[in-house]
Amino acid sequence: MTRMKRIAIVGVVLVAVATQVTPGRAADEAGTVAAVAGTLQVQRGGRWQGVGIGAPIFLGDHLRTGAGDQAKVVLADDSVLQLAPDTEVALDKQVFDPTAQRFESLLKLARGKVRSWVSDYYREPGARFEVETPTAIAGVRGTEFIAFYNEGAALTEIVGMVDRVEVAGKLAVIGSVVQVGPQYYTEVRRGRFPSAPQRLDDARFHRYLEGLDLIGTGGHDGLSEMHPALAGHLLSPQDVPGGAAGGAVAEGLKVTAPPEFLADRLSPDVRANTQPLLEFKSVPPGQSPKATGGIKVGF
Amino acid sequence: MRDAGRAICTAGVLAAVVLAVAVAPARANVRSQALYARGLIPFNGGKWDDAYRLFDRAVQADRADAVALYYRGLAQARRGLSAAAIQDMSQALQLNPTLPHAALDLGVAYFDAGQYPEAKTWLERAHAQGGDRPTAAFFLGLTALRLGDNAAALTYFDEAKAAPELKPVADYYSGLALARQGQTDAARSALEQTARDLPQSEIGQVAQRYTTTELRRPSMPLAGPLAKPWSLYGSLGFAYDSNVVAGPSESDVSGRPGISGKDDGSTEIGFGGGYTLLDSDLGSVRASYDFYQSVHFSLTEFDLQGHRVQLLAASAPTGMVRYGIAGTYDFYALDYQSFYQEGLGTPWVSIAEGSDAATQAYYTLRGRDFFRAPFNPGRDSINNAAGLRQFVALGDPRWALGIGYQFDAEDTVSNGPMGNDFQYKGNQFDVDVAIPVLAETRIEVGYLLRFEDYQFVNSRPNRDGSFVRRHDVGNRVAAAAVHDLTEHLALTFDFIGIINNSNIPNFEYDRNIVSAGVRVVF
The verdict on residue B467 lying in a domain is yes
Average pLDDT over chain B reads: 83
A3-7, A10-14, A230-234, B180-184: which has the highest mean pLDDT?
Answer: A230-234
Residue pLDDT, tens place only, B263-307? 889 999 999 999 888 877 677 888 999 999 999 898 887 888 999
Please indicate, yes or no, if residue B218 is contained in any of the structural domains: no
Q: Do B448 and A225 touch (CB under 8 A)?
A: no
Q: What is the pLDDT of residue B351?
A: 84
CB A294 to CB B109 under 8 A?
A: no
Query: Which of the listed ranges B417-426, B457-466, B492-501 does the model predict with the highest average pLDDT?
Result: B492-501
Question: Can you give the pLDDT at residue B477?
Answer: 95
Please state, in angstroms and as integers, the Cα–Cα distance from residue A227 to each residue in B106, B110, B127, B160, B484, following that order: 13, 13, 17, 15, 37
Whether B71 and A298 lie within 8 Å, measured CB to CB: no
Q: Of the ranges A85-94, A96-105, B214-223, which one carries the lowest mean pLDDT score?
A: B214-223
More confident: B263 or B172: B172
Q: How far apart are CA A176 and CA A186, in angstroms?
A: 12
Q: Which of B339, B355, B389, B422 to mutate to test the interface with A (most CBs of A within 10 A)?
A: B355
Could you tell me if A254 lies within 8 Å of chain B, comparing CB atoms? yes
Contacts of A36 in chain B (CB under 8 A): none
Of residues A7 and A194, the one with the higher pLDDT is: A194
Whether B217 maps to a domain, the answer reads no
Q: What is this structure's pTM? A: 0.57
- In this prediction, the answer to ipTM > 0.85 reads no
Residue in chain B closest to A242 (alpha carbons) equals: B224
pLDDT at A134 over 90: yes
pLDDT score at A255: 60
Q: Which segment, A2-11, A43-52, B228-237, B483-492, is predicted with the most confidence on average?
A: A43-52
Say whether both B205 and B236 belong to one domain: no
Q: Say whether both B199 and B249 belong to one domain.
A: no
β-strand partners of B323:
B349
The whole-number average pLDDT for the span B455-478 is: 88
Same domain, B171 and B42: yes
At B353, the pLDDT band (50, 70, 90 cuts) reads confident
Residue A12, pLDDT > 60, answer no
The answer to whether B170 touches B177, Cβ cutoff 8 Å, is: no
Instruction: Select the more confidently predicted residue: B59 or B420.
Output: B59
Residues in chain B closer than 8 A to A276 (CB atoms) = 246-247, 375, 379
Instruction: Spell out which residues of chain B touch residue A259, defining contact as CB-CB under 8 Å.
Output: 402, 432
Output the pLDDT for position A281. 43
Q: Is B186 exposed, middle or buried (0-12, 13-18, 19+ CB in 10 A)?
A: middle
**Structural domain harbouring B305:** 230-521
Q: Which stretches of B46-183 are DSSP H helices?
A: 48-61, 66-78, 82-95, 102-112, 116-129, 133-146, 150-160, 167-180
Residue B224 lies in a domain: no
The model's confidence at residue A254, banded by pLDDT at 50, 70 and 90, is low
Instruction: Give me the pLDDT at residue A19, please.
Output: 34
Tell me which of A48 and A3 has the higher pLDDT: A48
Q: Contacts of residue A182 in chain B, CB cutoff 8 Å?
A: none
pLDDT range class, residue B224, cuts 50, 70, 90: very low
Residue B54: pLDDT band with limits 50, 70, 90: very high
Return the percentage of chain B with pLDDT > 70, whole number. 84
**Is the pLDDT at B374 greater than 80, yes or no?**
no
Pair (B195, B265) in one structural domain: no
- A251 Cβ under 8 Å from any chain B Cβ: yes
B215 found inside a domain: no
Over residues A256-279, the mean pLDDT reads: 73
Please name the member of A242, A275, A276 whose beta carbon is closest to the beta carbon of B210.
A242
User: What was the pLDDT predicted at A274?
Assistant: 61
In this prediction, residues B68-96 reach a mean pLDDT of 94
Same domain? B293 vs B337 = yes
Which one has a higher pLDDT value, B394 or B282?
B282
Q: What are B437-451's pLDDT values in tens digits?
A: 766 778 889 999 999
Chain B closest CA to A22's CA: distance in Å?
Answer: 20
Q: B64 to chain A, minimum CA–CA distance in Å?
A: 16
A69 touches chain B (CB under 8 A): no
Residue B416: predicted pLDDT = 66
- Cβ distance of A274 and B379 shorter than 8 Å: yes
Between A39 and B413, the higher pLDDT residue: A39
Same domain for B238 and B315, yes or no, is: yes
Residues B77 and B167 in one domain: yes
As a three-state string, the secondary structure of B457-520 is: ECCCCCCCCCCCEEEEEEEEEEEEEEEECCCCEEEEEEEEEEEEEECCHHHCEEEEEEEEEEEE
Taking contacts as CB-CB distances below 8 angstroms, the residues of chain B near A240 are 176, 206, 210, 397-398
Of the residues B179, B209, B239, the one at which a domain ends: B209
Exposure of A267 in the CB half-sphere (CA atoms within 13 A): 33
Q: Which of B178, B209, B240 is the last residue of a domain?
A: B209
* Whole-number pLDDT of residue B407: 96
* CATH number assigned to the domain comprising residue B158: 1.25.40.10
Query: Cβ contact (<8 Å) for B105 and A249?
Result: no
A133 touches chain B (CB under 8 A): no
Whether B46 and B87 share a structural domain = yes
**Which of the residue ranges A87-91, A210-214, A229-233, B190-194 has the most confident prediction, judged by mean pLDDT?**
A87-91
Which residue in chain A is spatially nearest to B445 when comparing CA positions?
A: A262
Give the pLDDT band of residue B221 (cuts 50, 70, 90).
Answer: very low
Pair B208, B195: CB distance under 8 Å: yes
Q: How far does B2 lie from chain A, in Å, by closest CA?
A: 33
Asked whether residue B247 is assigned to any structural domain, the reply reads yes
Q: Locate the chain A residue with the closest alpha carbon to B389.
A: A258
What pLDDT score was predicted for residue B364?
94
Decide if pLDDT at B254 tops 50: no
Residues of chain B with Cβ-Cβ distance to A183 below 8 Å are: none
Question: Are residues B342 and B432 located together in one domain of the fold?
Answer: yes
The predicted structure's pLDDT at residue A172: 57
| Chain A interface test: which of B29, B30, B35 (most A C-beta within 10 Å) | B30
**Cβ neighbours of B23 in A, within 8 Å:** 163
State mean pLDDT over A250-255: 44
Q: How far apart are CA A250 and CA A243, in angstroms?
A: 6
Put simply, whether A286 touches B (Cβ < 8 Å) is no
Higher pLDDT, B229 or A124: A124
Which residues of A fall within a CB distance of 8 Å from B206? 234, 240-241
Domain termination site, one of B209, B240, B266:
B209
Q: How confident is the model at residue B251 (pLDDT cuts 50, 70, 90)?
A: very low
Chain B contact for A34, CB < 8 A?
A: yes
Q: Are the Cβ atoms of B506 and A117 closer than 8 angstroms?
A: no
Position B74 pLDDT exceeds 80: yes
Number of domains in chain B: 2
**Closest residue of chain B to A273, computed from CA coordinates:** B246
Do B431 and B515 share a structural domain?
yes
Closest CB to B446: pick one of A74, A118, A261.
Answer: A261
B222 within domain boundaries: no
Tell me the pLDDT tens digit for each residue of A175-206: 678 999 999 999 999 988 899 999 999 999 99
Q: Nearest CA of chain A to the CA of B102: how many Å?
A: 8
Kindly state the average pLDDT of the residues A59-70.
Answer: 94
Which residues in chain A are contacts of B166 at CB distance < 8 A? 230
The partner residue sitting opposite B446, judged by closest CB among A253, A262, A298, is A262
Chain A residue with Cα closest to B390: A249
For residue B191, the chain A residues in CB contact (below 8 A) are: 241
Q: Are A130 and A139 in contact (CB under 8 A)?
A: yes
Q: Do A250 and B356 touch (CB under 8 A)?
A: yes
> Which residues of chain A lie closer than 8 angstroms to B108, CB-CB?
222-224, 227
Given CB atoms, is A275 within the 8 Å cutoff of chain B?
A: yes
Q: Give residues 157 to 186 of A whose Cβ lies within 8 Å of B.
A: 162-163
Q: Tell me if B34 and A80 make a contact (CB, 8 A cut-off).
A: yes
Minimum distance, in Å, between the CA of residue B1 and any CA atom of chain A: 35
CA distance A43 to chain B (A): 21
Q: What is the mean pLDDT of chain A?
A: 79
pLDDT at B259: 45
pLDDT-derived band at A39, boundaries 50, 70, 90: very high
pLDDT of residue B510: 85
Would you state the pLDDT for residue B339? 85
Q: Are residues B467 and B420 in the same domain?
A: yes
Domain CATH for B412: 2.40.160.40
pLDDT at B131: 79
Residues of chain A with C-beta less than 8 angstroms from the C-beta of B214? 241-242
Whether the per-residue pLDDT at A296 is higher than 50: the answer is no
Q: What band does A6 get if pLDDT is binned at 50, 70 and 90?
A: low
B106 and B236, same structural domain? Answer: no
Minimum mean pLDDT range among B150-154, B219-223, B389-393: B219-223
Q: Is residue B300 domain-resident?
A: yes
CA distance B6 to chain A (A): 29
In angstroms, the Cα distances linking A13 to A24, A25, A82, A158 are 17, 18, 42, 49
CA distance B317 to chain A (A): 5
Give yes or no for residue A23 having a pLDDT over 70: no
Choose the closest CB to A34 out of B38, B304, B387. Answer: B38
